[in-house]
Amino acid sequence: MSNKYLVESHGKLVLIDGKNWQTLEHKGVNNFVGTLSENVHLVTDFATTAAFKHIQCDYKYAEFILSKELKDSGEIVGNVQLLAIQKNKQAQMNNSVFYAPVNLETYNRYQVIADNTLHNTLLFSYYHLYASLAATNKSNQVRASFVVTESDISILLSQKGKVVGFESLPKVMFQGENRIASLTNALRTLERQLRLKSTSVSVHFWLEPDASVDWAEALASELQLDLEPVTATPVIVDGQPMFSSLAPHLGSLSLKHALNQSESKYLYLAKKSLPLVASLLLAANAYIGLQYFQVSESHQQLSARVQSMQSTLTEQIPSKVIQQNDYQLYLDDLERIQHASKLPGYHEVLADIATAIPQNSVVFDWISFDYPKQTDENKLFISLVGTQTAQSDDPIEHFNQFVKSLTSQGYKLRDSSVQTSFKGVSFALDLERPL
């Protein structure tokens, strides 16, 4: 691990520089991030725990439908940012989500901390380490991994490199003579719930004084499962030798996992390497923002500007360098932006949607705009998830009026999902609008 990490998990704050770990008095991460003299990756659990759930819906709506279901059931309260750590499609309408619900105010505060430092700080979810651990199991067989931290023990089920089950339980539940029996019962219960059967087991940990936990073999024996070897990295914590088998997964965190806004990612890239690539992308991002929210340039002017940027980028940066450093992703971004500049702006579409709503009776949970790449058809794709509230005797009729109004404005209905309840009509719509 060549990067420095400021890891906040389970109420503890640790600065990690290679094998040297320093425990910091936890007075808030902003007290430390702003004083660091170089780039640091901020990895946090946001004072929440992860969870896993199956959801019956279209794959593209999984995290949003999940958020709605969790709110309706009371499992999450208030304004929450649902971090989808990993989303898996298992069948046409059967998906699973490994997620972490984060208080929205807390989430925004960390974004501000990451964005307002002298050195660009990338923000990551601590639970990406668990997804990285799951990725090490490439086989078709289910592996049960117990992850031990200071405050809890999590059960992570993995298969084909994906998380297929997860549960986090307080560590206090597994103390004393009944530890092995309790852990065995917890795994078997989770397997029954998910209709899975593990064929091997491993025990991982954040920090331990030894290279393995002393009860791992006894647990494997009780479960009658093969015990997979775990490699623990020796570290020095406040001058004391310790071991960690989870910390090596910090090295799996990359720019694509960062929770920062796109501008912050480009700034990080600018300071890290290839300043020209990042500065051009940052400029392009700014121009798009002006176009769609201030409407300061015509589509033609914007298209010409982005096309010029793309030509400059391609000419001055050798293709081998771009490929070797995985910057093709950013060239693709430029192509996408250039093509998007020809399509209707957000303000136009939102105005159409607002006009179509009958009697202000629709509440939206999610609106997304998908601007296709240059090789795709010249169409803008819109997805809407919301509720037609029961303000009349016939909310279905109001919903049909809403859809009819959109189609009369030139929008084509590609797909829809509708459910009725005492609250009204819950819907998910896929629309397209041609040039």
Per-residue pLDDT of the chain (435 residues; tens, 9 = 90+): 468 899 999 889 999 999 999 998 766 676 666 666 567 889 999 999 999 999 988 887 888 788 888 988 889 888 888 999 999 988 778 899 999 999 988 998 888 888 776 566 889 999 999 999 999 999 999 999 999 999 999 999 999 999 999 999 999 999 888 999 999 999 999 999 999 999 999 999 999 999 989 999 999 999 999 999 999 999 999 999 999 999 999 999 988 888 887 656 655 655 554 444 445 555 555 544 544 443 334 445 545 555 555 555 555 555 544 444 445 555 566 665 665 566 666 678 888 888 888 776 777 777 777 766 555 567 888 888 888 775 656 777 878 888 899 999 989 988 887 777 666 778 888 888 876
What is the distance between the alpha carbons of residues 138 and 135, in angstroms, rounded to a whole number?
7
Rg (CA), the chain: 25
Note whether 250 and 43 are within 8 A (CB). Answer: yes
**Burial class (CB within 10 angstroms; exposed 0-12, middle 13-18, buried 19+) of 191:** middle
Q: Which pLDDT belongs to residue 78?
A: 83
Q: Which amino acid is at 81?
A: Q
| Integer Cα distance of 269 and 274 in angstroms | 7
236: helix, coil or strand? Answer: strand
CATH number of 346-434: 3.30.70.60
Extract the tokens encoding 162: 């994906």
Burial of 57-91, coded b for 16+ CB within 10 Å and e otherwise, reads bbbbbbbbbbbbebbeeeebeeebbbbebbbbeee
Per the structure block, which two tokens stand in for 46? 């946001």
Residue 418 parent element (H or E): strand 412-421
Q: CA-to-CA distance for 271 and 267, rounded, in angstroms?
A: 6
In one-letter notation, the amino acid at residue 94 is N
Please tell me the predicted confidence (pLDDT) of residue 149. 95
User: What predicted TM-score, i.e. pTM, was given to this entire model?
Assistant: 0.70
